[in-house]
Structure 1
């Protein structure tokens, strides 16, 4: 997730506006920043690695000529945080400059094609290829807007792009597919950004671009086109009445709720990593004798999920280990045939880094699943996969967790195909179902929120909670427990459903809340028995089940219906109601779920 801003003014210099807008977008990304303006038939560009204030202090990002320009604050997905990878990016002739939020899935192929045509690249990003594609179309004689349209027909993936041309000093182009882009309209010009907070001081009149739409902005005009058809379309100007503070959260009360709602897009982006990187990662897994998934906190629960699916899909020994305990448990038995997969949102978690350094000393290969490009984990790992989740502001992990589950599922499927445990046909079928999960989450997330909002006021006076799940949904129960602990400060337990009779059952009495994850999979009948055990002791059961779970609904006091998906992928779907349950309980208790007491987003000390 990155922050984009652009503006074309009737009069005045645009650079201060761009700088102020970028500061308001820094929550979307903060590893590098850049600005480009057009003046005197030239593109003027400054960019560098670092946070906005750091780069501004060195380069003076407000010292630009011109009344048209674009700016970008970056969260790295392709290419480490570095000046060469910072946006804006240009074509070979420095006549096109653009900024991008999203992921170009086929950029490696397009890069090779363009290299053969004589194009020179200066970065390691996926973004730069778009500037060169537009350059190609302009060489063919296309006008600027048509060149952009035709170039993007070659691109697969997600994108919000804002583009300027030295040859068209009054035209700013914005394009959207699956990444947000909103236009601001005023008498003094036109604005475009990832988030209206960037230009709220200048106008509250906005136009929201839809997927596969392109906007052509000039000081006195705005045209919107359908990219596929190449035809103009009508656009609606709306007036927003939010404050800047509200807009930072896109109208949501808290960052956590906003990030819960971002999960359909985060899951989809997690699955967009180039197959080349996936295959490189899988090559290490394929030759391993033992897999160790090492992590802390929420990432440990993702590791626990992986320890269920890799033996099943890949037929390989796999264990999930809490990072702080890894060396004590396994250091003496590690060898060159072992692979340690470290999972960390920040890539800087101290216990995880210590574990992987220890593993490397013993000769094991280290792989990373990480959200922050350029972090310590990316440097230590022999190979790593980026989560593409974007910044997560709320301390309690939400979208980064489901992104990790999606990535691990994809890796397991490709590893299963690689070692012939899955046929190509079976693998493709599973991949189709996996890619459908983001659609299902998007379809149900509003319903989840509305139903859980009604349930949680009655939970606030409960002294503790227990979460139960079997098989791949035991990690879901553990993650639900952690969310409840983190942001409500209520004691909570998590058990595999079959283990509940070994100790936990002594806790159950009239009104004791038991939340059970029970999709209609192979463990469904066993979960029904567990529900009956809880009800026999007058426990208050909330079942999270799919629409086929009629008996679970009948037996429970309350239930949340989830979409039906492949059993292996149910933890991705089930995580969302678990997160919302903790979120709304916290809010009803009068707490701030974004910043729970005593906790930090990234634990960088032992």
Structure 2
């Protein structure tokens, strides 16, 4: 992983490749490279560790990259082999160059076989093993498609690959299994990419390759075959996003732009799911009455999406009175499958391609559970394979640090839980209407108020400038919000942070509190008010700096606090969604104050498409 681009047409290929890779930088990477056909139809490869600008400089300095019209490019996030020039993609031989997202799990065995045949390797990557094996098969067979099929049948793992054969300067070849890949369709030019954002400047039309598909791409044709070798009947899709949505639009960073989009994306996501004032999912083919017969809900996700799932857990239990479990996707798939036909498994993923979440979905289906996806990317693997899908209409989220995706996921699953409550008779229609109104009307206004009155958040961030370790605490559903806030801070400020249920502090963690230790204390649940106040006083007495996140009626907590981040008045079961915006801004302003790369934090990738 992490980003693939391919171009064949009449424009300057090197320019299109660098431009496409630039649009994919948000996915995270540690090196980059391109291969293009020169005017003499020879493959020229330029690559470098570090920023894409290093490759762009090599392209600018190399006259052979001009006047050429076909090539492939890649941004790499290291999985096999350290970041370096030699481990950067593309990889290949005198016969071909190849770029790859994914992991070849049996690469060591294949490499040993190839070494025994006298083959040599220049890198430490699994990708080069794939390239050398493909070269050997092509040398033996003389048939490009046949060699690709034979090679891919020999590997286990995941891949999205684009290939340029040295003896064919007018075609690119690509294939996928477990790692997303699309073919973009333009006017007199075509593309290969791992993400539609790489193509939006030139086309919004694309084919989404499915598992096992192989495509042959020229400037005026796209031929796609399925895993059986038959013509693939794929729809030509049109992206809902445009290039403006994938640009900063005057903001200094994508993260702050995307935070500012939260109120609008919440309304857009809920607009079509509220009818006559009530939650309504009929238009999307979701029969809410199924909740009458369901026994349990399992919510499976990774990272920030998992914490949005925790919001759903609380709401399914309180609204629908049904057991709900939140599970980390990478663990869920290896645990005993204690679920079946009486269970609903909800998979949450911004990209719809998260490898562990996709594997968890497939396991759930094998066990007979009903599956529902909550994803942002239309036509993604998880969306296609789930029994039902609810899209979050958040538009592209470019910053590695997820913000608006979390907010709309939390709002949507809350509305879904209210609908389930109506179906099960545990929530009246009047109460469901109040929940829907708060989510659609009051929540966006509260988010806007937080954003427009951010000075206290900036002041708190300034106070944290030299902080190396801190804590987040809460009770009830605020415990999960504390975990999400802590994650945000770790991701982009590189500050050690831990989140705890406030009542657990006295069971060990309070020993770490000393003079000046920051403790972000979240108090949105009036049932827990007195208990939270007691916990806050405990850490305050030991020298903690208190950053309180609460409504203005929590007067005693505000008096104890060193900094107060106001949560506008909302229902307590929804206030936490708005409070998340305050925590996102706290992390953002601290990272920006420290001069860090807010949108591309070190070691992180936006779409985790390997396990």
User: CA shift at 1:503, angstroms?
Assistant: 1.7
> Whole-Å Cα distance in 2 between the matches of residues 572 and 75 of structure 1?
35
Q: 2:571 aligns with which of 553, 566, 580?
A: 566
Q: 1:458 aligns with which of 452, 459, 463?
A: 463
In structure 1, what is the equivalent of residue 323 of structure 2? Answer: 317
> Whole-Å Cα distance in 1 between the matches of residues 369 and 317 of structure 2?
19
User: CA shift at 1:81, angstroms?
Assistant: 6.6
Q: Tell me if the contact between 2:311 and 2:414 (Cα under 8 Å) persists in the aligned partners.
A: no
User: CA shift at 1:73, angstroms?
Assistant: 5.9
SS in 2 for 1:329: coil
Matched, 1:446 2:461: no
Q: Tell me if the contact between 1:291 and 1:341 (Cα under 8 Å) persists in the aligned partners.
A: yes
Q: Tell me if the contact between 1:464 and 1:492 (Cα under 8 Å) persists in the aligned partners.
A: yes
Q: 2:530 aligns with which of 512, 515, 525?
A: 525
> Whole-Å Cα distance in 2 between the matches of residues 345 and 284 of structure 1?
25
User: What aligned pairs does 1:455-494 form with structure 2 within 5 A after superposition?
Assistant: 455-494=460-499
Q: Tell me if the contact between 1:293 and 1:341 (Cα under 8 Å) persists in the aligned partners.
A: yes
> Whole-Å Cα distance in 2 between the matches of residues 338 and 74 of structure 1?
38
> Whole-Å Cα distance in 2 between the matches of residues 465 and 351 of structure 1?
30
SS in 2 for 1:280: coil
In structure 2, what is the equivalent of residue 269 of structure 1? Answer: 268
CA gap of 1:284–1:73, structure 2 versus 1, over 3 A, is farther
Q: Tell me if the contact between 2:301 and 2:349 (Cα under 8 Å) persists in the aligned partners.
A: yes
Q: Tell me if the contact between 1:520 and 1:545 (Cα under 8 Å) persists in the aligned partners.
A: no
> Whole-Å Cα distance in 2 between the matches of residues 126 and 57 of structure 1?
19
Matched, 1:291 2:297: yes
In structure 1, what is the equivalent of residue 335 of structure 2? Answer: 329
Q: Could you give the per-residue CA deviations for residues 371-427 of structure 1, whole angstroms, max 9, x where no partner exists?
A: 011111011100010011110000010000000001001101111111111111111
Q: Tell me if the contact between 1:340 and 1:364 (Cα under 8 Å) persists in the aligned partners.
A: yes
Q: Which runs of 5+ in 1 are unaligned?
A: 1-19, 31-49, 61-70, 83-121, 128-159, 161-192, 198-246
User: CA shift at 1:477, angstroms?
Assistant: 0.5
SS in 1 for 2:498: strand
Q: 1:404 aligns with which of 390, 409, 423?
A: 409
Task: Give the TM-score, by structure 2 length.
Answer: 0.61
> Whole-Å Cα distance in 2 between the matches of residues 502 and 284 of structure 1?
42
> Whole-Å Cα distance in 2 between the matches of residues 483 and 126 of structure 1?
29
> Whole-Å Cα distance in 1 between the matches of residues 592 and 334 of structure 2?
40
> Whole-Å Cα distance in 2 between the matches of residues 569 and 595 of structure 1?
30
How many residue pairs are counted as aligned between the two chains? 402
> Whole-Å Cα distance in 1 between the matches of residues 600 and 287 of structure 2?
35
In structure 2, what is the equivalent of residue 86 of structure 1? Answer: none
In structure 1, what is the equivalent of residue 398 of structure 2? Answer: 393
User: CA shift at 1:471, angstroms?
Assistant: 1.1
> Whole-Å Cα distance in 2 between the matches of residues 378 and 396 of structure 1?
22
User: CA shift at 1:279, angstroms?
Assistant: 6.6
Question: What is the Cα-based RMSD across aligned positions, in Å?
Answer: 3.4
Q: Could you give the per-residue CA deviations for residues 213-232 of structure 1, whole angstroms, max 9, x where no partner exists?
A: xxxxxxxxxxxxxxxxxxxx
CA gap of 1:467–1:59, structure 2 versus 1, over 3 A, is closer
Q: Which runs of 5+ in 2 are unaligned?
A: 1-15, 27-180, 192-200, 210-234, 274-280
> Whole-Å Cα distance in 2 between the matches of residues 51 and 384 of structure 1?
20
In structure 1, what is the equivalent of residue 197 of structure 2? Answer: none
> Whole-Å Cα distance in 1 between the matches of residues 182 and 580 of structure 2?
32
Q: Which has the higher contact order (CA 8 A, sep 6+)?
A: 2
In structure 2, what is the equivalent of residue 584 of structure 1? Answer: 589
User: What aligned pairs does 1:203-242 form with structure 2 within 5 A after superposition?
Assistant: none
CA gap of 1:303–1:53, structure 2 versus 1, over 3 A, is closer
Matched, 1:543 2:548: yes
User: CA shift at 1:268, angstroms?
Assistant: 1.1
SS in 2 for 1:523: helix
Q: Could you give the per-residue CA deviations for residues 484-517 of structure 1, whole angstroms, max 9, x where no partner exists?
A: 1111111110011112222211111110000011
> Whole-Å Cα distance in 1 between the matches of residues 399 and 505 of structure 2?
32
> Whole-Å Cα distance in 2 between the matches of residues 541 and 329 of structure 1?
39
> Whole-Å Cα distance in 2 between the matches of residues 535 and 451 of structure 1?
20
User: What aligned pairs does 1:59-138 form with structure 2 within 5 A after superposition?
Assistant: none
Q: Tell me if the contact between 1:27 and 1:391 (Cα under 8 Å) persists in the aligned partners.
A: no
SS in 1 for 2:377: coil
In structure 1, what is the equivalent of residue 186 of structure 2? Answer: 55
Matched, 1:430 2:561: no
Q: Could you give the per-residue CA deviations for residues 128-181 of structure 1, whole angstroms, max 9, x where no partner exists?
A: xxxxxxxxxxxxxxxxxxxxxxxxxxxxxxxx9xxxxxxxxxxxxxxxxxxxxx
